[in-house]
Copies of this chain bind each other. A is one copy, B any other.
């Protein structure tokens, strides 16, 4: 949570003049978002989000992300969309950084999701997957099975400082995942980071999805697996099968899951947990002492991996 780039008032006024977005009334940096700098901008037309893309986002990927949000929104999936400036561009520059002015999405992210939130998530995720089927953009998942080993290897020698035996356990886990990762599942555009803080609700109704900056083409069921990890564990890391069942059933009600997808779910969930384990471990062991962003505990994901490893069949996730 940080504002990496301080935007001066005069530069913002000049930037806004390139858009048909009204006159600036106020702007304030938001203490959210680990990757980018975000401001809430009020004009006499309404509220907007100004995003400045910082180092961790590859500028080459930005057209994919912005086009995807426009595509999804056009198809009825509520998400922020970039305004186009007077030259027709969605992507601009501000304070030397790529920048976009986005519509503001009202809604609140739910700190403690209930069963009905998981159900709404499953349904909207399926709708999003279907809406993106004819999206032409391409971006590979830069944090998939082949990417976990190099990230892990760069910090493995210090992993046991968190827990004895962790390096050996996770190295074996990665070897297993590499050997068994399913390759023939239905693919499409996935969000790949649909954690509760990226899904907004209003009065228990899902009102929109934000933060598509990990979106990519991958197995659709992998997106579900990310959400099993992010939504269905209780704070004590027990697995809530009622939430998982609600999510999966709602998803399947809108997009039928194949037998192969059902069968692969425990493995995909192990892999999704590994993806967050390795990046969190890396951030944990590499964050500078004075950093604004407090790193998240990687061991929460080691525990999730162990849970998924213990799952005998997809039925244990609430699927028949």
Contact = CB atoms under 8 A, between A and B. Distances in A.
A149 interface: no
Given A1-B3, A42-B47, A47-B42, A108 B27 contact: yes
Interface stretch (A65-73, A94-102, A182-190, A289-297): A289-297
Contacts of A9: 108-111
Contacts of A106: 25-26, 42
A44 to B, nearest CB: 9
Given A10-B112, A108-B24, A290-B289, A29 B42 contact: no
Interface centre among A104, A200, A292 (most CB of B within 10 A): A292
A288 B284 CA distance: 19
A31 interface: yes
B292 A10 contact: no
Contact of A111 (B8, B25, B289): B8
Interface string A166-203: 00000000000000000000000000000000001011
Contacts of A111: 8-10
A211 to B, nearest CB: 13
A13 B26 CA distance: 25
Contacts of A26: 104-108, 200
8 contacts: A8-B111, A9-B108, A10-B111, A25-B108, A26-B104, A28-B31, A29-B30, A289-B289
Interface of A: 1-3, 8-10, 12, 23-32, 40, 42, 47, 104-112, 200, 202-203, 289-292
Enumerate the 5 nearest inter-chain pairs by beta-carbon distance, A residue then B residue, closest first. A29-B31, A25-B106, A3-B31, A8-B111, A31-B31
